[in-house]
Amino acid sequence: MSQARVLGMIGLAALAVATVAYAQTTVTPIPESEPVQTAPLTTAAEETGTVTWGDADAGATKAGACAACHGLDGNPTDPQYPRLAGQSERYTAHQIALFKSGERNSGMAAVMKPFADALSAQDARDIGAYFATQTAGAGVADDSVVASGPYKDLKFYEIGEKLFRSGDAARGIPACMACHGPDGAGNPGPAYPHIAGQQSAYSQRRLEEYRAGTTTQADPHLFNVMATVAEKLTDEEIGALASYLQGLHPRAQDFAAADAPAAPAPVAAPAPEAAAPVEAGEAMAEPAEGA
């Protein structure tokens, strides 16, 4: 093979390599995507400056209207009403807004709406701030043993505890604590609610509503998060979750209760002195004129 031919082949090879290298370094722009639709993080009222973060002191006064059902400190005695103590400000204010707009219209909504209608957005923030400063109580979880079914021999609340802490990966059910926290205190950022100690009857009803999957909320994204989880739960699992949540509370509360001084014994009131007996024949005092 002649030297000229060899040089020619080398030149062709070099040209091919250069062509490939050029193709690899040439940037071809892709079509621009549509602008991302963003949602405001605040309401219209907040953007105009008419609403600020809640004032807990102001909320303490305004929350007086809530006391009949929810208790003075947000811990109701009637199990049909939810516990508000410890709930985040944003979540409480948002729920009041949903009652007021009629977007939340199930359960006790008919009772709540007249109260919500009387509140401004700032009132709702103040009330939420007040209840956020209160300590949530807790009830007692059902520890009866399950007699039959897939959870046979477990204590009833243990079904809920397993779902709360671990979920069920096989059925695509995430652990509740992933959003609501290991102690059920919630996450005030995305407004995931405080659920520890919540009344079991209330939690059960809300889980059943999520499982039904129907809502009239204009922005249902948070509702849909829960609906996706609850649709996979059985009646037994919903009941057990509600029971477990009712008894869930920080262990520190147990220590505080154990260390609390005993209540003082009630002091007996002194017996009233006996009136002096009237001697026979002694005249009783005449009443004063005009008596």
Q: Give the span between the Cα atoms of 127 and 54, in whole angstroms.
A: 7
Statement: residue 254 has pLDDT above 50: yes
Question: Rounded to the nearest 10 degrees, what angle do helices 89-101 and 109-117 cross at?
Answer: 100
As a whole-number percent, the residues of the chain with pLDDT over 90 amount to: 68
pLDDT tens digit string along 76-103?
A: 999 999 999 999 999 999 999 999 999 9
User: Is the CB of residue 182 less than 8 Å from the CB of residue 171?
Assistant: no
Q: Give the span between the Cα atoms of 203 and 164, in whole angstroms.
A: 13
Question: What pLDDT does 5 receive?
Answer: 61
Nearest to 160, CA basis, from 28, 29, 262, 248: 248
User: Is the CB of residue 131 less than 8 Å from the CB of residue 83?
Assistant: no
pLDDT tens digit string along 120-170?
A: 999 999 999 999 999 999 999 999 999 999 999 999 999 999 999 999 999
Mean pLDDT value across residues 115-119: 97
User: Is the CB of residue 49 less than 8 Å from the CB of residue 169?
Assistant: no
Q: Give the span between the Cα atoms of 152 and 172, in whole angstroms.
A: 22
pLDDT tens digit string along 258-276?
A: 777 766 665 555 555 544 4
User: Is the CB of residue 183 less than 8 Å from the CB of residue 196?
Assistant: yes
Mean pLDDT value across residues 27-33: 61
Statement: residue 20 has pLDDT above 70: no
Q: Give the span between the Cα atoms of 247 and 138, in whole angstroms.
A: 6
Tokens 């009949």 -> residue: 68
